[in-house]
Amino acid sequence: MSKETEGAAERFERAVNRLRRELRAVAAAVTPGVEPRAEERTDDRRTVGGSMGKRFSMALTLPDTPYETAAAAAADAFVTAGWHTELRQGFGGRPLLKATRDGLNASVVAAGRALRISGEVPVVWIHASWIRPPRVAVLETLKPGHQLCVMCEGWGSCRVCEGLGFVDSRMCVECGLGMDCPDCRGTGQEPVPGAGDGR
Ligand SMILES: [Zn+2]
Ligand SMILES: [Zn+2]
């Protein structure tokens, strides 16, 4: 059974909102009135033991903002907001401004002639153990001439590892990390035998 890590989802959401707010404030301090190009992504992380967590990252790109003139303003804005900053050597010896605060990480680098302010919320563990993804097929959604997969009963995920790919920290022998039900290949349904459809 799955066990929800208490308050973790809310904690994750608060951290994401705070990172968004603070990086936008830094961008606004560096180039007032310029709307940065924003990219965001949320990744799921799964451990072999079946825990599930989420990680969030975002980047704000300010066009035509040379690092040389903008980095100091960015550092000031971070420090004013209570972040700890540090100048480092980035990839290829390029300068890099690092900022950290309460477990959040941010960095400022040059991206061509643009300035890139990025940050992340490190993985927050949401579930103490694996939750099987929802069924892919139910009676109401079956294709004509099809029935629920006899092996997985419509789940679509492997019946042994429930779609995690691992059993007791070992690769699942049933699906071999395929994670889909090997019988229906993840569709959750199969042609009704003898129905003459899909053969
Ligand atoms: Zn199946
Ligand atoms: Zn499996």
pLDDT tens-digit map of 20-34: 999 999 999 999 999
Report the distance separating Cα 33 and Cα 39, nearest Å. Answer: 19
pTM more than 0.85: no
Residues of the chain with CATH 3.40.1000: 8-127
Helix (H) or strand (E) holding 75: helix 67-80
Nearest bound ligand to the CA of residue 132: 2
140 neighbors 154 (Cβ within 8 angstroms) = no
Nearest bound ligand to the CA of residue 152: 1
Percentage of residues in the chain with pLDDT exceeding 70?
94
- Give the Å distance between the CA of 191 and the centre of ligand 1: 12
Which of left, alpha, beta for 155 (phi over 0: left; psi -120 to 50: alpha)? alpha
Counting Cα atoms < 13 Å in the Cβ hemisphere of 89 gives 2
Render pLDDT for 136-157 as a digit per residue (tens, 0 to 9). Answer: 999 999 999 999 999 999 999 9
Report the distance separating Cα 42 and Cα 54, nearest Å. Answer: 7
Residue 196 is encoded by which pair of tokens?
């003459």
Taking Cα atoms as reference points, which of 15, 25, 29 lies closest to residue 101? Answer: 15
pLDDT at site 198: 44
Pairing mode of beta strands 95-101, 104-111:
antiparallel
Backbone angles phi, psi at 16, to 5 degrees: -60, -45
The neighbourhood of ligand 1, an ion, using CB within 5 A, equals 149, 151-152, 181, 183-184
Percentage of residues in the chain with pLDDT exceeding 90?
61
Q: Predicted confidence band at 1 (pLDDT cuts at 50, 70, 90)?
A: very low
Nearest bound ligand to the CA of residue 150: 1
- Answer yes or no: CATH 3.40.1000 is held by domain 8-127: yes
Nearest bound ligand to the CA of residue 190: 1
Render pLDDT for 33-89 as a digit per residue (tens, 0 to 9). Answer: 999 999 999 988 877 667 878 899 999 999 999 998 899 999 999 999 999 999 988
pLDDT at site 63: 95
- Give the Å distance between the CA of 43 and the centre of ligand 1: 26
- Give the Å distance between the CA of 180 and the centre of ligand 2: 7
- Give the Å distance between the CA of 178 and the centre of ligand 2: 7
- Give the Å distance between the CA of 46 and the centre of ligand 2: 15
